[in-house]
Amino acid sequence: MKAVHVETGRHFYGGAQQVIWLLEGLVAAGVDCELVCPPDSDIASRASALGLSVVEMPCAGDHDIRFMWRLRNFLRKAKPDLVHCHSRRGADFWGGRAARAAGIPAVLSRRVDNLESSYFSRLRYKPFSKVIAISDNIATVLNTAGINSDRLVVIRDAVDVDSVNQAPEADVLSRHFDLNEEHFAIAVVAQLIRRKGHRFLFDVLPGLVFKNPQIRVVVFGVGPDEVQLRALARKLGLSGAVKFAGFRLDLDEYLAAFDLLVHPAEKEGLGVAMLKGASAGLPVIAFNVAGAKEAVAHGKTGALIPAGDVESLQKAIELMIEEPEMRRSLGAAGRQRMRDEFSVQAMVESHIALYDQLSNG
């Protein structure tokens, strides 16, 4: 079987990582894969370094109708059995239409949970034989928007537990972030955008730091809200407690050295950052929103609290500080749950079964 994968995002965020893991697994299973992605994109560099087949193709987003014609012409020459589109930025709308114009069945992975009108959903997803939701939550959103259940399949995003270093060097946080063993280190891993909810954590930090001066928060990620969040940290007197670390490709090497991962997102499709945190053996505190309910098992691998409830957020963090044995127990359970329920191998096998179903149907 030959499959062409289309990922038009430029940055190596969680979705792009999923594409790489899927491609590696598919190729190892004997599926002939090619990746179509923008020139000089992060995923192009990563895929090439791993020896995956990469076709660089410009795409300027949903308004770039020329991308459809470029992709259609490529597909007619490549003659794959299937096209798998992975992202919003032109890949879904034009990718599906290019595949249809080339006479090739196509599927789409949907990773975001923002609700669309029924009209635009039907228009966007019409060319796809199946729409893959990365969580039950997203499947519900799509069904509500008018996508029939028989066109939906849930294949959860995965995490490579073994890629996370479980024994980072003792001084790793000191070298990277000027933290020492007396600090209580909290990681926040998310794009710096409003729906990720950084402001809720910042709101409770002054009180937390007053009671627990050893708290340090390292914010991983980039985004349009960075200037605003840095200003908020200064305004709240948190400059010594909060460190902005930017986007880091080496996070797997030292995430396990942290004590806790907090993910206060108001909306979340599934939340690869939470899967990563659990894989690193960290308990995870998150708002009790749709995707987080699948990523975190409340009371077993972390804590889910009502969205926007800053008082409960503060209490949950304080409890984690006060109960180190509970913290270790939750972290160990989270790591095992990732291995049991969110493995890359299971994700790859589910995709292969879907591909076989479509090619034989």
Q: What is the CATH number of the domain that holds 51?
A: 3.40.50.2000
Spell out the alpha helix ranges (H) of the chain. Answer: 14-28, 42-49, 65-78, 93-101, 118-125, 136-144, 172-177, 198-211, 226-235, 272-279, 290-295, 310-322, 324-341, 344-360
In a shared domain, residues 355 and 256: no
In a shared domain, residues 335 and 194: yes
Residue 187 dihedral angles phi and psi, to the nearest 5°? -105, 140
Whether 14 contacts 273, CB under 8 Å: yes
Contacts of 280 (CB under 8 A, 6+ apart): 164, 166, 252, 255, 256, 258, 261, 331, 335
In a shared domain, residues 286 and 167: yes
In a shared domain, residues 44 and 7: yes
What is the predicted pLDDT for the residue at 119? 73
In a shared domain, residues 17 and 58: yes
What is the predicted pLDDT for the residue at 123? 80
What is the predicted pLDDT for the residue at 72? 97
**Band of residue 354 on the pLDDT scale cut at 50, 70, 90:** very high
In a shared domain, residues 16 and 149: yes
In a shared domain, residues 136 and 182: no
Which of residues 277 and 117 earns the better pLDDT score? 277
Instruction: Give the side-chain half-sphere CA count within 13 A for 239.
Output: 4
Distance separating alpha carbons of residues 98 and 236, to the nearest angstrom: 50
**Band of residue 222 on the pLDDT scale cut at 50, 70, 90:** very high
Structural domain of 165:
161-341
In a shared domain, residues 44 and 88: yes
**Band of residue 361 on the pLDDT scale cut at 50, 70, 90:** low
Nearest CA-CA partner of 267 in 292, 304, 230: 292
Q: Which helix (H) or strand (E) holds 37?
A: strand 32-37
In a shared domain, residues 355 and 301: no
In a shared domain, residues 255 and 129: no
Q: Which two tokens stand for residue 232?
A: 């908020």
Has residue 207 got a pLDDT over 80? yes
- Cα dihedral 245, 247, 249, 253 sign: positive
Question: What's the CA angle centered on 17, arms 131 and 97, to 5 degrees?
Answer: 35
Average pLDDT value for residue range 91-114:
91
- Note the pLDDT tens digit of each residue in 304-350: 999 999 999 999 999 999 999 999 999 999 999 999 999 999 999 99
Residue 356 dihedral angles phi and psi, to the nearest 5°? -60, -40
Whether 270 contacts 156, CB under 8 Å: yes
Has residue 122 got a pLDDT over 80? no
3-state secondary structure of 180: coil
Helices 324-341 and 310-322 sit at what angle, rounded to 10 degrees? 100
In a shared domain, residues 312 and 288: yes
- Note the pLDDT tens digit of each residue in 4-20: 999 998 888 788 889 99
- Note the pLDDT tens digit of each residue in 152-190: 999 999 999 998 988 898 899 999 999 999 999 999 999
Contacts of 235 (CB under 8 A, 6+ apart): none
What is the predicted pLDDT for the residue at 310? 96
In a shared domain, residues 224 and 171: yes
Distance separating alpha carbons of residues 343 and 86, to the nearest angstrom: 19
Mean pLDDT of all residues belonging to the chain:
93
What is the predicted pLDDT for the residue at 271? 84
SS3 content of the chain, % helix, strand, coil (to 5): 50, 15, 35
Q: What percent of the chain has pLDDT over 70?
A: 100
- Note the pLDDT tens digit of each residue in 38-75: 998 999 999 999 999 999 999 988 888 999 999 999 99
CA distance from start to end of the chain: 14
Number of compact structural domains in the chain: 2
